[in-house]
Amino acid sequence: MVLSLTELGKRLEEARKQKKITLDELQTITKIQKRYLQAIEDGNYDILPGKFYARAFIKQYAEAVGIDPEKLFEEYATEVPKTETEVSSGLSRVKNKQTSVSNTSSLFFSLLPKILVVVLVISVFVFIWLFWQKQDLTDKDGGDTSGPVVESQEDENVTIVNPNDAKEVPEVPDETQQSEETPQDIVDTPGVPEQEVPEAESVQQQLVQVAQKNGNSPTTTYELKGTEQFTVELTSTGRSYVGIKNGMGKSFYGAELKEGEKVSYDFSAEQEIELNIGRTLDVVVKINGQDFTYPFPPNEKVHQKIKITFNKAT
Q: What is the pLDDT along the chain (314 residues), one digit of tens a residue?
A: 333 446 888 888 998 999 899 999 999 999 999 999 898 888 888 888 777 788 899 999 889 888 998 988 888 877 776 665 544 444 456 456 666 656 677 788 888 899 999 999 999 999 999 998 887 776 655 555 444 444 444 444 444 444 454 445 455 455 544 444 444 444 444 554 555 544 444 445 588 899 999 988 899 999 998 898 999 999 999 999 999 999 999 999 999 999 999 999 999 999 999 999 999 999 999 999 999 999 999 999 999 999 999 988 86
Residue 69: predicted pLDDT: 87
pLDDT score at 149: 42
Residue 85: predicted pLDDT: 52
pLDDT of residue 146: 47
What letters, b where the CB count within 10 A reaches 16 and e where it falls short, cover 262-297?
ebbbbbeebebbbbbbbbbebbebbbbbbebbbbbe
- CA 255 to chain centroid, in Å, comes to 30
Say which CATH topology domain 7-82 has.
434 Repressor (Amino-terminal Domain) (1.10.260)
CA–CA distance, 87 with 41 (Å, rounded to integer): 24
- 193: which DSSP letter? P
- Amino acid letter at 314? T
Residues of the chain with CATH 1.10.260.40: 7-82
Closest listed residue to residue 163, CA positions, set 230, 273, 228, 243: 243
